[in-house]
Amino acid sequence: MERELARDDEHVPEPCTRVDALTRVFALLGKRWTGLVVAVLTQRAAHYAELRRAVPKISERMLSDRLTELTDAGLVTREVEPGPPLRVTYRLTEAGAALGPALNELGTWAEKYLPSDGTCPEVADRC
């Protein structure tokens, strides 16, 4: 029987390519605030202070970290405008802008299935 188990372990299938791709997506976009920062930038390029106002509960450190991660991932560009005052503009790259339709779909889904009171309509209907 141990031999059978050992053979079964050897034949463990590789993870599905789709799951692997979604794992990479959620590793980046699943972090708190990241999706909201991208959503704001889908509307237009923005300065740091504008992003801070658009995502009101995000701390300065968290916004800075998320912008750095998005820049490193190739979804956001950081453009420094000569000063004074020194200003930095953030804008989506082509890859970042391509997230727009997916974020819109997620928003539509949330409006339908995640009401603002936090309950799922399908669960509430059963109660």
Rounded CA separation 66/37 (Å)? 8
Would you state the pLDDT for residue 119?
A: 60
Would you state the pLDDT for residue 127?
A: 41
Best CA proximity match to 44, nearest among 71, 76, 14:
76
Domain residues for 28? 15-107
Domain of 69, CATH number, reads 1.10.10.10
Would you state the pLDDT for residue 22?
A: 86
Q: Place 117 in a pLDDT band, splitting at 50, 70 and 90.
A: confident
pTM of the predicted model as reported, rounded to 2 decimal places: 0.74
Proportion of the chain above pLDDT 90, given as a percent: 57
Indicate the number of domains in the chain: 1
* Residue 111 pLDDT greater than 60, yes or no: yes
- Does residue 91 form part of some domain? yes
46, two tokens: 């923005």
Residues 82-92 pLDDT 10s = 888 889 999 99
- Does residue 28 form part of some domain? yes
- Does residue 2 form part of some domain? no
Residues 4-56 pLDDT 10s = 555 555 655 565 777 888 888 889 999 999 999 999 999 999 999 999 999 98
Best CA proximity match to 39, nearest among 109, 97, 118:
97
